[in-house]
Structure 1
């Protein structure tokens, strides 16, 4: 599995399945491998930020710059592990952990009021003023028992989103 142009062996497929907690079938792993090879244009064995941006849906995502920090340089096994959070079989905790990483842009294990403001700005663009975003977020923090000076940990995120019915499922097309 070293270079992207080599073929996957049964052992490779099983190893990737274990790495992503068996959330993808063998056929889905093979399909993802073909897509990975298409993205890895130079057959380096990993996908660069520029290669990720060649996917129109990814490039158009308002959070693409934050996501790029998470996906730049992923090899195939880590590419599948990243995508596993989008599987319908992924647990709510796995999905929330991914969202938390998007918000925790400095990777310090905490999300501040300002971190969330930055994401809201990315998501809402010019549709909301900074004052409106700040008012909404201040109210949400207050209702959840936090202040502007609070830092949310992963455990806080799990508490807040755990029962939200969050849906991030993406179906893997099988060739």
Structure 2
């Protein structure tokens, strides 16, 4: 799996399956590998931020800058693990762990009110005012027993999502077209 131009061996496929808790089939991994090779334009075996942004679905995302920090330099195995969070096969905990990383802008394993507010601002744009975002976020935090001053750890975010009943469903096709 060193070079993106090489073919996946059965042991490579099994290694990736194990890395992703066997949530992707062999066929899905092969399809994802083909996609990875398309994105890895220079054939070095990892995806750069520029290569990632070359796909229109990724470049138009309001969270593309945050996602870039997470994907720059991903090899194939980590690329599949990254996509796992978008799969219907991923557990809620796996999805929350991914979202937590998106919110954790300082990479210190803590999320602040302002971190969440910034992401909400990216996602909602002019649809909501800052006051509306703050009110909604304050209410969600308060219902889960937190305040605007709370520093949230991963376990706190799991608790908040579980209490709020939020659903996190997004499916990424293994056959994304260019």
Range class of TM-score, shorter chain: over 0.9
The equivalences for 1:36-115 within 5 A come to: 36-115=36-115
The answer on whether the counterparts of 2:112 and 2:151 sit within 8 Å (CA) in structure 1 is: yes
- The Cα offsets for residues 113-132 of structure 1, whole Å up to 9 and x where unpaired, read as 00011001101112222222
Give the equivalent residue in structure 2 for 1:21: 21
Deviation of 1:72 after TM superposition, in Å, equals 0.7
Give the equivalent residue in structure 1 for 2:172: 170
The answer on whether the counterparts of 1:95 and 1:168 sit within 8 Å (CA) in structure 2 is: no
Distance 2:50 2:30 in 1: 23
- The Cα offsets for residues 129-155 of structure 1, whole Å up to 9 and x where unpaired, read as 222222322232223221111011111
Give 5+ residue unaligned stretches, structure 1.
Answer: none
Distance 2:79 2:168 in 1: 22
Distance 1:145 1:121 in 2: 23
Give the equivalent residue in structure 2 for 1:141: 141
Distance 2:135 2:88 in 1: 34
Give 5+ residue unaligned stretches, structure 2.
Answer: none
| TM norm structure 1 | 0.93
Deviation of 1:91 after TM superposition, in Å, equals 1.1
